[in-house]
Amino acid sequence: MSRIFITGSADGLGHGAAKELIAAGHEVVVHARSDERARTLRASLPGAAAVVTGDLASAAQTRALAAQVNAIGRMDGVIHNAGIYQEATRGSTPEGHARVLAVNTLAPYLLTALIERPGRLVYLSSGMHRSGEGSLRDIDWTARAWQSTQAYCESKLHLAALAAALALRWPLVRSHAVDPGWVPTRMGGASATDDLEMGHQTQTWLAVSDDAAARSSGGYWHHKQRQTPAAEVSDPVFQQRLLAKLEELTGVALP
Q: Which of 37, 38, 39, 6 is nearest to 22 (CA)?
A: 6
Catalytic residue among 19, 156, 220, 245: 156
With the CA atoms of 205, 208, 214 and 219 taken in that order, what torsion angle do they form, in degrees rounded to the nearest 10?
80
Active site residue 220: no
What region, left, alpha or beta, does residue 96 occupy, with left being phi > 0 and alpha being psi -120 to 50 degrees? Answer: left
Strand extents, DSSP E, the chain: 3-6, 27-32, 50-53, 77-80, 120-124, 174-178, 220-222, 225-226
Query: Is 156 a known active-site residue?
Result: yes
DSSP letter, residue 7: S
How far is 37 from 186, CA to CA, in rounded Å?
A: 15
In this structure, the number of other CB atoms found within 10 A of the CB of residue 8 comes to 26
Q: Helix, strand or coil for residue 59?
A: helix
Check 152, 220, 224, 245 and give the catalytic one.
152
Kindly list the catalytic residues. Answer: 152, 156
